[in-house]
Amino acid sequence: MALVHDAPPGAAASPSAGAPGTEPHGAPQPPNAPGKLIFGLVAAQLGVCIAVFTPIIVTLQVRVAQIAPEAERNAALAKVLSVGALLALIGNPLFGALSDRTTSRFGRRRPWLIGGSLVALGGLTIVGLANSVTMLLIGWAIAQVGCNAALCMVTACIPDLIPDHQRGRVSGLVGMMLSVSMVCGTFLAKVFSGNIAVAFIVPALIGVVGACVLAAVMRDRPARPGAFAPYSFKEFLRSFWVNPRKHSDYAWNFVSRFLVFIGIACVTSYQVYFLMDKLGVAEGDVASRMFTTTLVTVGGVVAGSLLGGFLSDNAGRRKPFVLASAAVIGVGLVLIATAGSFNAFLLAVAVFGFGEGLYLAVDVALAAAVLPDPETTAKDMGVLNIANALPQSLVPMMAPLLLGIGGGTQNYGALFLFGGIAAAVGAVLVQLIRSVK
C-alpha cells in the first residue's frame, strides 16, 4: 500500500454521503446505503470482535493457566492484558491516520481492513501454539495490533459510506455486535475446549471472513494525492490531539462518551465478583451463571440497539436518546447494586443491557456528525475510540477505593453508584453539542 508524503495543499470535499451540513436546505435526501454494505459492516464487526473477545473472555485465561505456574498466573495474565490494552489505545489513532493517507488503488480502508484481520490471525495462531508467557505476550500484542487496525476501518466506514439519516440504525446494528460476539465467543470456546490452539485460530478465521465480506461490498476511494504532510513521529503524536476550542462539539462528545463507558465498565469488569461476593455463587458455577448473564445482557442490548436506532433515525434526533440511555443505565446500576438473588440480578442486567444498546444505537451516529475533517475520518474516529477503551483499564484501578468505602472490600453499591453518576454526567454533557439535535 502506498502512503502520501506530500505537503497538504488544502482540504478536499467530504466523502461522506449525507454528512451533516453537506446538503443544502431543501435538497433531496441522499439515497439509502445498499443492504449488502450494511450486512458487510455487521459481518466485519461481528467477525473481528469474535476474534478479539473470545480470548479476552475465556481462552486467554486458559492459555495462561496452561503455561504459567499457578503462583504466577494472575501476574502473567495482567501483563499480557496490559500490553494489549496499551496497543489498543495507540493502535486506533495510528492506523486511522495511516488509512486516511493511503493512496492504494484498492482504496484507503480496504488494505488495512484485510491486512489487519490477517495480522490478527497470525498473532492468535502464535498465542494458541505458544509454550512460554513471552511468546504468548508477543502473539497477543500482534493480535491486538491487527484487530484494532481492522476495527478502526469498520468504524470509519460508517461516516464514510452511510448517509446521516441511516446512521442511527446502522450504528445500532454494528454496535450490538460487540455484545453478540461475546456470546458467540463463549460458545466457540466451549466447542473447541479440547484443542486450545483451534480455539484461538477458528475465531481469528471468522474475523478474516467477516473483513473479506465487507471488503467485497464496500466502495472505497484512495486518499487524494498531496492531501497530507509526511507521517512523522511528531505527526503521530498530533494524531491524539484535536483542538477542543476549535472543535468543541468533538471534544464534548469525547468526554461524554468516556464518562458513559465508565458507567458501563463498572458492570462489565465486576459482575463476576458481584455474583461470588454478594450472591454467593460458587466458583465452579460462575462460568454457567455468566453465560446466562451474558445471554440476558445481549438480549437487552439487541432490543435497545434496534429500537433506539429506528426511533432516532425517524425522529432525526440523537441527544434525547443519549439522555434516555443514561437514565436506563442508571436504573440498571441501581437494580444490580440492590439485587438479592440471581433472578433479580438477571432482571437488572437486562435493564442495563437495554440502556447500553440504546446508547450504542446513537453513539457512532453522534460521533460521525461532529468529526472535524472529512479527510481524517478514520484518525478522528480512532481518537474517539480511546474513550471506549480507556475506562476498561481505569475502572479496575479506581474500583478498590470505591469498594473499600465503609471499611470493607465489597461496597458494590458505591462502585455502581459511581458508575451511574458518571453515565448521567456524560449524558448531560452531550447537551452542550450544538451541531446535533
Phi-psi label, residue 107: left if phi above 0, alpha if psi -120 to 50, beta otherwise = left
Residue 127's pLDDT is what? Answer: 92
- Per residue in 212-261, pLDDT (tens digit) is 999 999 988 887 776 666 766 676 666 666 667 777 888 888 888 889 88
Examine residue 365 and state whether it is found in any structural domain, yes or no: yes
Do 127 and 78 belong together in one domain? yes
**Cβ atoms of 150 and 116 closer than 8 Å:** yes
* Opening angle at CA 152, ends 157 and 164, nearest 5: 30
Examine residue 21 and state whether it is found in any structural domain, yes or no: no
Domain count, the chain: 2
The 3-state DSSP composition of the chain as helix, strand, coil percent (nearest 5) reads: 75, 0, 25
Examine residue 346 and state whether it is found in any structural domain, yes or no: yes
**Cβ atoms of 261 and 388 closer than 8 Å:** yes
End position of a domain, from candidates 213, 241, 269: 241
Do 275 and 377 belong together in one domain? yes
Do 306 and 431 belong together in one domain? yes
Q: What percent of the chain has pLDDT over 70?
A: 85
Residue 171's pLDDT is what? Answer: 78
- Per residue in 75-124, pLDDT (tens digit) is 777 778 778 777 877 887 788 888 888 888 888 889 999 999 999 999 99
Examine residue 1 and state whether it is found in any structural domain, yes or no: no
Residue entry with cell 462528545: 253
Distances (CA, A) of 283 to 71, 111, 199, 261: 18, 44, 23, 28
Do 43 and 143 belong together in one domain? yes
Examine residue 5 and state whether it is found in any structural domain, yes or no: no
Q: Over 80: is that where the pLDDT of 204 sits?
A: yes
Q: What is the 3-state secondary structure (H, E, C) of 242-274?
A: CCCCCCHHHHHHHHHHHHHHHHHHHHHCCHHHH
DSSP secondary structure code for residue 109 in this structure: S
- Lowest-confidence pick of 97-111, 268-282, 315-329, 373-387: 373-387
Taking Cα atoms as reference points, which of 70, 45, 312, 62 lies closest to residue 181? 45
Q: Where are the alpha helices (DSSP H) in 102-238?
A: 110-129, 133-161, 167-191, 196-217, 233-238
Do 246 and 390 belong together in one domain? yes
Examine residue 18 and state whether it is found in any structural domain, yes or no: no
Distances (CA, A) of 210 to 173, 195, 207, 221: 15, 23, 5, 20
Do 263 and 211 belong together in one domain? no
Examine residue 23 and state whether it is found in any structural domain, yes or no: no
Distance of CA 3 to the CA centre of its chain: 27
Domain that holds residue 215: 34-241
Examine residue 19 and state whether it is found in any structural domain, yes or no: no
End position of a domain, from candidates 203, 226, 241: 241
Euclidean distance between CA atoms 235 and 60, whole angstroms: 34
Residue 5's pLDDT is what? Answer: 35
- Lowest-confidence pick of 34-38, 125-129, 256-260, 316-320: 316-320
End position of a domain, from candidates 191, 224, 241: 241
DSSP secondary structure code for residue 408 in this structure: S
Do 49 and 61 belong together in one domain? yes
Do 41 and 185 belong together in one domain? yes
Do 349 and 399 belong together in one domain? yes
Do 199 and 272 belong together in one domain? no
**Residue 434 CB: number of other CB atoms within 10 A?**
10
Distances (CA, A) of 384 to 45, 88, 175, 400, 407: 17, 12, 14, 27, 37
- Per residue in 363-378, pLDDT (tens digit) is 777 777 777 776 667 6
Q: What is the mean pLDDT of residues 53-74?
A: 77
Do 77 and 99 belong together in one domain? yes
Domain at 211, CATH number:
1.20.1250.20
Taking Cα atoms as reference points, which of 265, 365, 290 lies closest to residue 322? 365
50: part of which helix (H) or strand (E)?
helix 35-54
Do 283 and 351 belong together in one domain? yes
* Number of residues that make up the chain: 437
Euclidean distance between CA atoms 231 and 375, whole angstroms: 15
**Cβ atoms of 108 and 136 closer than 8 Å:** no
Q: Considering the chain, what is the average pLDDT of its residues?
A: 80
